[in-house]
Chains A and B, each alone.
Chain A
């Protein structure tokens, strides 16, 4: 039954087919004019820019600016690695130094000193003493133009550490004293 119906459909489709050749005339001028009018209306500068595109553009531009500014701050771990390697490192990856790029050439001066091991003091220094000797003052002299942003913290056993190089305050004091003597 179904086959008969399909056969009839096919036969009808065949009977309805026509092979008359069709010449394709050029579209009327009104059509081309309407097309050109459409193109003019859709040009980029006449379309309102969606709000989301504006927001995305602003975020991208500000992101690029922030990234560029971030590149101007050099992490201490990448520039002064030699210095940091001298002493045990405590949370080194959290510390950054505000360091102009032009100051980098001062690094070899410190590097030459590193060959001689820095003296270490066994006894930790008490917290009040650490406060009296801020890291900035200690670092200014041997490292020239470098400005160091550092902070002090106290470990569980009560010793005070400088976050820059993992020195105790006493170790740092002695280390820079040693540097002065070498120079």
Chain B
């Protein structure tokens, strides 16, 4: 009832906003959209690759699912985790649809990847190198690395999103760092 009279959604917590969305309030939804769209956009874009044209459609689908399932939301979880879980499922579906999973395995030779562009290698900075190296990782590992170091989520939150034990996430992160290190070193050697 109080939502009818609430005007300032900007100062509300995520839980309150979600209740507002569940009640169908445009203001609450707009605030959630503005808070999370940029973060989800970067996550999807780096997960699927910059050439993907499905990013906006996937994001809209994610928010549509949020609106439809807002009343079934488990309040013990955060809205951030909830949205990233939806997004992770959508990305998985997208990989399945494009049959990218076997192609994106880490066994792919680096020569076929973006680092084959020598000119680009000379000019790009370390951040770009990391972004490109990420594309070599397998999709689930890439998502874990992005959630940990781009979105700065805790191991527990990532475990919740990826639906696997915290120990697994820790070992995957460790493996991901080593893998990135190898890829970056190889790319630098290749550049020389």
Contacts and interface: CB of A to CB of B under 8 A. Distances in A.
Contact of A13 (B26, B63, B149): B149
* Dominant secondary structure at the A interface: helix
B70 A38 contact: yes
B127 A38 contact: no
A16 B41 contact: no
B188 interface: no
Contact of B24 (A12, A22, A38, A44): A38
Contact of B41 (A13, A15, A22, A31): A22
Contacts of B24: 35-42
Contact of B64 (A20, A25, A34): A34
B140 to A, nearest CB: 17
Interface in A31-55: 31-32, 34-42, 44
Nearest to B67: A34
Contacts of B67: 31, 34-35, 38
A87 B40 CA distance: 87
A62 interface: no
Contact of B38 (A24, A31, A37, A42): A24
Interface string A1-36: 000000011001101111010101101101110111
Contact of A18 (B131, B145, B177): B131
A16 B33 contact: no
Greatest chain A CB density within 10 A among B25, B46, B149 is at B149
- How many chain B residues sit at the interface, stated as a range, is 20 to 34
Nearest to A8: B177
Interface string B35-79: 001100110011000000000100010011001101000000000
B23 A42 contact: yes
Interface of A: 8-9, 12-13, 15-18, 20, 22, 24-25, 27-28, 30-32, 34-42, 44
Given A39-B25, A42-B22, 10 more contacts: A16-B150, A18-B127, A24-B34, A25-B56, A27-B29, A28-B64, A35-B24, A36-B24, A38-B21, A38-B23
Give 5 closest A-B pairs by Cβ, nearest first. A39-B24, A38-B24, A16-B149, A22-B38, A16-B150
Interface of B: 1, 21-26, 29, 33-34, 37-38, 41-42, 45-46, 56, 60, 63-64, 67-68, 70, 126-127, 130-131, 145-146, 149-150, 152, 177
